[in-house]
Chain A
Amino acid sequence: MTEHLTRDELLRRAAAGGALIAASGALSDAALAGGRAAKPKKGGTFRIGVSGGSTKDFIDGQNIVTRPDQARIVTGWETLVNFSPQFKLVFTGLAEEISAKSADVWTIRVRPGIEFHNGKTLGADDVIYSLQRLVNPKLGLFGGAALKSLDPTRMKKVDKRTVRLFLKQKDVTILDALGQYIAGIVPVGYSPDAVGKANPNVGTGPYKVQSFTPGQQSTHVRNPNYWRSGQPYFDKVVIIDFPDDTARVNALLGGQIDAMTDVPPAQVAVVNGHSGTKVLESPSAAWTPICMRVDAPPFDDVRVRQAMRLIANRPQMVQQALAGHGHIGNDLYGIFDEVFAKDLPQRHQDIAKAKSLLKAAGHENLTVDLQSTNGALGMNEGAQVFAQQAKAAGVTVNAKILDSGAFYGDQYLKWPFSTDFWGSRNYLSQVAAGSLPTSPYNETHWPDTKDNKFLSLYKQALKTVDRKKRAAIEHEMQKMEYDKGGYIIWGFSTLLDGYATKVKGLKQGDKGVLPLNAFGHGYRTIWFG
C-alpha cells in the first residue's frame, strides 16, 4: 500500500504534524509488474539495439548524453525514490524512509544490507558523496540542474544509514529531482573512468559492467548479490548502438536482437505484422515544442504569439508529424502531473482570429525562419507541418533544418523561433528546467522580465506544502503560460519500441519516461518466456 505513497501525501503529512515518515517497507515488484501472471524464468542473454550512440558514449551512474547512455545507466545504478508506471513518485528505491521536518529539512534513510558491485555496503556516506557529486559544478552533470536547492556543504550524517539535508530554500520538488534516473547513488570516491580498471565502475543495480566499447556495445552480467530477491532474470544484457533506424528494425526482424528502442512510426506496421515481434506503445509526457522568444521581435508582441498558437492545427500535426502516435497538446506541459490544468479549454486552429491578431500587431504577411534539427522525432516533422499550415494565415515560415552541431551551437537558446524537445516531468520541475531566468534551457526567455508575477508564484509554490494551496498556485502559473507563454505545444509523442514476443514482462500502455518500460526497470522485470 505504501508503495504508492506520493510526494503530495508525504508533504501533506509533513504539514499536518511536523516530522513524519514517508516510506515503504518491503517493496513488491508484483506491484510494478501489475498482475503479470506467468512465473519469470531465469537465464539467457538479452540483446537490445538502441538508437543513436557514438564514440562519445560513456557509462556514468549520474550522467547521460546519448540514448545508449540511458540504456546503460539503468543496468547498474539506482535512485533513492522512483517514478511508478503511472508517473507517481513511489518509495521503492534505495531509500527505506524519507521524512520532512519542513520543506527545507529532509531526512533520508537507506535500506539496510544493500551492497555495491564491489561488495561495499551502501550507507549514509555514499548518499552524501552522491549528492555532492551531482551538484559539483566542475563535473557539469546533467542531473545536477534539477537539484539547485541542495546545499552540498550542509548534509549531515545522522547514523550509518541516515542523512539529513538542509536545503538552501524550501523546495517541494526535491523528491522529483531525486527520482530522476540520472540521480543514481554511487559509492564514496566513485569515478566512471575506472571501467575495466582496478577500481571498477560500480553501483547497486541488477547488472555489473563487464565490457564497454563506446559507439558499439557493452556487456553487463547479473549482479549475484542484488538486493531485490529473485531478480534480475537474465544472465547477461548486451546493449548495442544502432544509429541507423533501418538496421535496427532489420536486426529485430531478423532475430539478431531481442528488443529495440524507437521504432520509426512508418515501421510500426512492419514490426507488428512480422511474426514474433511487436511494438510496445507507452504514452509519454514528452513534447517537441515550437519555441517563440518572448523578448525578440516579432514574438515580443503577445498577439503574434497568440496568433501563432491559433495557426497550429494540432490533430493534423499529430497525424502527420507523429504518424498519429501521440496526443494533442494545449500549449501546456506536465500532462502527467496531478495539477495539470485540464480545465483550460483546448485550443483549436482559428485562422481568421490569427489573421486579425497579426493585423492588430502590424505583422500581416509575416515571414520568419524556424530553426530545427533532428533532435527527437517530431521536431523537424512538426516544423515542416506547421510551416505548411501557416500559409493559410498569410505567414511564411521557412523551416530550416540544421545539423545538430549547428543547432545546439552558440545560437542555441538564442534563436527567436525554433523547435526543441523535452522529456516527461512534473509541472514545477519542468518550470525549473525551462521556464525561469535561472533555467538551464529556457528557449522562450519566459517569463517577461517586466513582470515578476510568474517568478514569485513559482517561489511561493516551492515552499507551499499544502497540496490544495499549491495546486491553486500552479494552476495560476499554467494559466499565465496558456495565455501569454512562448511555447506552441502541439502534441505529446508516444514511445514506440520493438520487442520479440519471447520477451515477457513488458506492459503496454505504461506511462513512459524511458523506452521499453524504463528498459524493463533496469532489465530486471523482464525475462525470456
Chain B
Amino acid sequence: MSTAIRFVRRGISGFVLRRVLLGLLTLLLVSVIVFAATQALPSDPARAILGRTATPESLAALRKQLNLTGSIPGQYAHWLRGFVTGDFGNSLAARGEPVTQVLGKRLENSAFLVLIAGAVSIPLSILLGVLAARRRDGPFDHTSSVLMLALAALPEFVVGIALVVLFGTTVFHWLPAVSLIPPEDTPFQHLKALILPVATLVLAVSPYIARIMRASMVEVLESDFVEMARLKGMPERHVLWRHAVPNAVAPAIQVIALNLAYLAGGIVVVEFVFGYPGIGSALVDAVANRDLPVVQALAILIAGVYVALNLMADVATILVSPRLRTSLR
C-alpha cells in the first residue's frame, strides 16, 4: 500500500482507513474528470435538450430557466459545495427536478437487478468451478469449459437478444421480451419481467468467476494439506467444502468484486436491450442531454461502488489469507 500515508494507524483498521481516504481522493478525481469531459462535449444543455426544435426564443427561454450562467470553475465549485452537503443539484433535462427524485426510483430498480444477478451468479459460478475442478478433465469439465469460454466471448447484447428470441418473441412466448415496470410499481411486483435481464447478466459474469474458481481449486486440490486431509480418511465432501473451497475462494473474491462492480456500470447495455427503467438508461439519456448534475451523480455513484467493492474484496482477501493478515501487524 501507499507509503505516503504511513502515519495512519497500523493493522487492519488502519489499512481500511487509508483505503477509504484514497477512495475519497479517487472520487474527487473522478468528479473533476467527468466535469471536464462534459464541458469538452460540444453544445450546451439547452441546445441538447431542445435539439431540432430549438428556436432562438425557446433557447433563450430555456437557458434562463436552467440558470446556465457563470464560469466553468464556478459551476464546478457550486456543484462540489452542494455535493459535500448532500445536495446533488437539479436535473437540467427534467426542468429543474431534483436529481435524487429523477434517479431515486431508477436506482432502486438497478440495485434490485444487480443484487439478484449477483445472488444468483456468485453461488452458481463457485459451484460450477468447484465441480469442474473436482472432476478435472472429465466430461463435465470439458463441456463447461467450452461453454464458459463461448459465453465469455459473447457480448451481453447478443446473449440478451438471443434469450429474447428464444423465450420472448419468436420461438416460445414464455417470458416478457421487455421489462416494463410501471413507474408506480417496484420490480419485486414484476419478477417475471426480471428473468431474462437477470439471466443475461448471470451469463455475462459467471464464466469469469467460474473459470478463476476452477483454476484456484485445481491448485488447492493438489496441495499438501488436501492430500493430508484425504490421507486422514476424511470424507471427500468434507475435504472439498471445509478445507479446499475456503482456501481456493481467496483469488475468486477479487474477481467476484470486479464483476459486481462491472455489473453496476455494465447494466447500461442490458437495461437498454430490455427497456428496463434503471440508471443505465438514465445515464445514456443524461449524456445525450448534457444533463451535468445527473451525469455527475451517476459517475460518482458508479465509481463509489467500484471503490467500495474493491475495498471490501481486499479486506475479505486479507481476512481469509492468514499470511496477509499477519503481515499487516
Chain A residues within CB distance 8 Å of chain B: 54-56, 58, 64-65, 137-142, 144-145, 211, 213-217, 240, 242-244, 246-248, 250-251, 253-256, 274, 375, 403-406, 408-412, 420-421, 440-441
Contacts and interface: CB of A to CB of B under 8 A. Distances in A.
B93 interface: yes
Contacts of A440: 55-56
Given A65-B50, A247-B272, A254 B176 contact: yes
A369 to B, nearest CB: 15
A255 B175 CA distance: 10
A315 to B, nearest CB: 27
Contacts of B59: 140
A55 B91 contact: yes
A176 B275 CA distance: 38
B54 A408 contact: yes
B277 A216 contact: yes
B195 to A, nearest CB: 13
Contact of B177 (A137, A253, A441): A253
Given A139-B61, A244-B275, A405-B289, A421 B52 contact: yes
B304 to A, nearest CB: 22
A216 B41 CA distance: 26
A65 B51 contact: yes
A202 to B, nearest CB: 20
B282 A406 contact: no
Nearest to B41: A405
A67 B75 CA distance: 32
A145 B55 contact: yes
Contacts of B173: 254-255
B178 interface: yes
Contact of A406 (B41, B49, B58, B178): B41
B156 interface: no
A410 B169 contact: no
B275 A242 contact: yes
Interface stretch (B25-33, B180-188, B214-222): B180-188
Contacts of A142: 53, 55, 58
Contacts of A65: 49-51, 53
B57 interface: yes
B47 interface: yes
Contacts of A253: 168-170, 177
B288 A405 contact: yes
A140 B169 contact: no
A515 to B, nearest CB: 17
Interface residues of B, number: 53
A247 B55 contact: no
18 contacts: A55-B282, A55-B286, A65-B51, A243-B284, A247-B177, A247-B178, A247-B273, A253-B168, A253-B170, A254-B173, A254-B176, A274-B170, A405-B43, A408-B50, A409-B42, A409-B47, A440-B55, A441-B52
A375 B51 contact: yes
B204 interface: no
A244 B52 contact: no
Contacts of B183: 211, 213, 216-217
A34 B184 CA distance: 40
Contacts of B273: 244, 246-247
Contacts of B164: 250, 254
Nearest to A69: B53
A421 B289 CA distance: 20
A250 B177 contact: yes
Nearest to A409: B43
B43 A410 contact: yes
A248 B54 CA distance: 27
B116 to A, nearest CB: 20
A256 B176 contact: yes
A254 B177 contact: yes
Interface in B255-301: 272-275, 277, 281-282, 284-286, 288-291, 294
A254 B282 contact: no
Contacts of B43: 405-406, 408-410
A375 B53 CA distance: 11
Nearest to B64: A138
A375 B272 contact: no
- Which of A55, A139, A145, A253 has the largest count of B CB atoms less than 10 A from its CB? A55
B152 interface: no
Contact of A256 (B161, B177, B281): B177
B318 interface: no
A408 B48 contact: yes
B51 A404 contact: yes
Contact of B178 (A254, A403, A441): A254
B239 interface: no
A404 B48 contact: yes
Contacts of A255: 173
Contacts of A403: 288
B39 to A, nearest CB: 13
B180 A138 contact: no
B95 interface: yes
Interface in B1-60: 41-44, 47-60
Given A55-B282, A217-B180, A247-B178, 20 more contacts: A55-B93, A55-B285, A55-B294, A56-B49, A65-B53, A137-B57, A215-B94, A216-B183, A216-B277, A217-B182, A217-B183, A240-B180, A242-B178, A250-B164, A254-B177, A254-B178, A375-B52, A404-B51, A405-B41, A412-B47
Given A141-B58, A243-B285, A404-B51, A251 B94 contact: no
A251 B47 contact: no
- Which of A137, A244, A411 has the largest count of B CB atoms less than 10 A from its CB? A244
Given A54-B288, A55-B286, A247-B272, A408 B94 contact: no
Contacts of A404: 48, 51, 288
Contacts of B284: 243
Contacts of B288: 54, 403-405
Contact of B275 (A144, A211, A251, A441): A251
Contacts of B285: 54-55, 215, 243
A514 to B, nearest CB: 15
A160 B176 CA distance: 53
B151 interface: no
Contacts of B169: 250, 253-254, 274
Given A65-B51, A254-B177, A408-B52, A140 B168 contact: no
Contacts of B60: 140
Contacts of B61: 137-140
Nearest to B286: A55
B62 interface: yes
Nearest to A141: B58
Contacts of A246: 161, 273
